[in-house]
Amino acid sequence: MYSRIWITSANASLSAIGNVYYNMSYNSTSTIITRLIVKYQITCAAQCANQFANCSTAVFDSLTIPQSTLILHGWNAMGNTVAGASNGSAGKAANLLTSPYGTALGSFNSLYIADFINNRIQKWMINASNGTTVAGLSNATAGASSIALNLPVSVVLDSNDNMYFTDRNNHRVVYWANGASSGNTIAGITGIAGSTNNTFNWPCGIARDSSTGTLYIADNLNHRIMRYLVNASSGTVVAGGNGAGSGITQLYYPYGFAFDASSNSLLIANCPNNNIVRWVLGASSWTLVIGSSTGLSGSTSTLLNQPVGITLDPLGNIYVADSGNHRIQFFFAGQSNGTTIAGVTGSPGISQNQLYSPYWIIVDNQLNLYVSDHNNNRVQFFSHH
């Protein structure tokens, strides 16, 4: 059999290129003697799966790691289309999407999708063949009223499936109660672009602190992240706001980001700068997490090309929608060397193992992936095993 094991450990400092595999053998005391192998898949003896549970320690080069810190990670390379047409067809019918952007998982196996060009939010039950319009107009007409949208980008939900989303070309954030027929502007001024603390210019990514209800909004053309407290009429700049650039006090067209409650920080996809940066709330500058500090793009395991979406799992591992490389990259917490877990690097396409400019990535509680395959007009599901 073949076995793939990746390690997540607070005590381990690992760097690998590509997929990480381990060659396992057993001695008489059932200790795993482990050697790191990079880019090669090594045959593991059949007894590996049966004996793994009985092993207490693993020896990784000269580093001993408790067996309890070993986490099995792997994703199916072949995706399944769970929303939109698998052949990439675009449209405004209930079974189609056009350039999907942000996604969110709701209750009862539901998936909420910002159907960008169709100016609507679609709710798609898992395994359903059609979606239902839950915000905006089902006929895809753009508008600026309380029932219409104009290029929505990102959506988040609270525990009752009430929606908060960025309505980009209306320069506003909308709250839309679960089951309601209209929404309310809760941040920004509808139809007015600006750079004051109560206006936006193309709001894109949005995140919500579930413990406080605080919203964080990526104000794209103002190159900043804004924070809005509950019921506040204006926000506070918490990242960027110093013009576009690659300096440590600047952001450059931020689209997606993730709120990391454990470190009270934002992990921001600095798209044209081809990097992921961490901005601790209250700090005046960022620190580099992934990619190049100078804006260099690339397709190696340490570089990115126009990252758009980013998410974290409960262990703090990072998933990046590396749109220009047509792939999803996985980074262990604290590591800057990634592994491609969906898509084929540098190879856009419509096959089930390919992506074409993926814009968004979320994971469920089983670490399954949902990828907005933007230019293929579909959402792809990659199962974790």
Instruction: Supply the pLDDT for residue 126.
Output: 86
* Average of per-residue pLDDT across 52-66: 37
Contact 183, 135 (CB under 8 A): yes
* CB contact set of 132 (below 8 Å; sequence gap of 6+): 94, 122, 123, 124
Instruction: Supply the pLDDT for residue 127.
Output: 87
Query: pLDDT per residue over 65-79, tens digit each?
Result: 443 444 457 999 999
Residue 41 has pLDDT above 50, yes or no: no
* CB contact set of 47 (below 8 Å; sequence gap of 6+): 26
Residue 149 token pair = 């949208």
Residue 233 has pLDDT above 60, yes or no: yes
DSSP string, 8-70: --TT-----SS-EEEEEEE-TT--EEEEEEES---B--THHHHHGGG--EEEETTEEEEGGGE
* Average of per-residue pLDDT across 38-64: 34
Give CA–CA dist 285/271, Å, rounded. 17
Q: If you search the block for the tokens 């139809």, which residue do you land on?
A: 191
- In this structure, which amino acid lies at residue 125? M
59: left (phi over 0), alpha (psi -120 to 50) or beta: beta
| Stretch (H or E) spanning 253 | none
In eight-state DSSP terms, residue 226 is E
Instruction: Supply the pLDDT for residue 293.
Output: 95
Contact 80, 68 (CB under 8 A): no
Reduced to 3 states, what is the DSSP secondary structure of residue 376? Answer: helix
Instruction: Supply the pLDDT for residue 177.
Output: 98
Reported pTM = 0.84
Instruction: Supply the pLDDT for residue 136.
Output: 98
Instruction: Supply the pLDDT for residue 72.
Output: 56
Contact 4, 74 (CB under 8 A): yes
Residue 154 has pLDDT above 80, yes or no: yes
Give CA–CA dist 228/235, Å, rounded. 5
Q: If you search the block for the tokens 């220009």, which residue do you land on?
A: 324
Contact 26, 309 (CB under 8 A): no
Q: List the alpha helices (DSSP H) in the chain.
A: 47-51
Residue 344 has pLDDT above 80, yes or no: yes
Instruction: Supply the pLDDT for residue 78.
Output: 98
Give CA–CA dist 223/221, Å, rounded. 5
Query: pLDDT per residue over 73-116, tens digit each?
Result: 799 999 999 999 999 999 999 999 999 999 999 999 999 999 99
Reduced to 3 states, what is the DSSP secondary structure of residue 168? Answer: helix
Give the pLDDT band (50/70/90) at residue 339. very high
80-382: CATH topology is Neuraminidase (2.120.10)
Residue 36 has pLDDT above 80, yes or no: no
Tell me the pLDDT of the chain averaged across its residues: 86
Query: pLDDT per residue over 345-381, tens digit each?
Result: 999 999 999 999 999 999 999 999 999 999 999 999 9
Contact 306, 297 (CB under 8 A): yes
Query: pLDDT per residue over 271-308, tens digit each?
Result: 999 999 999 999 999 999 999 999 999 999 999 999 99
Percent of the chain whose predicted confidence (pLDDT) is above 70? 81
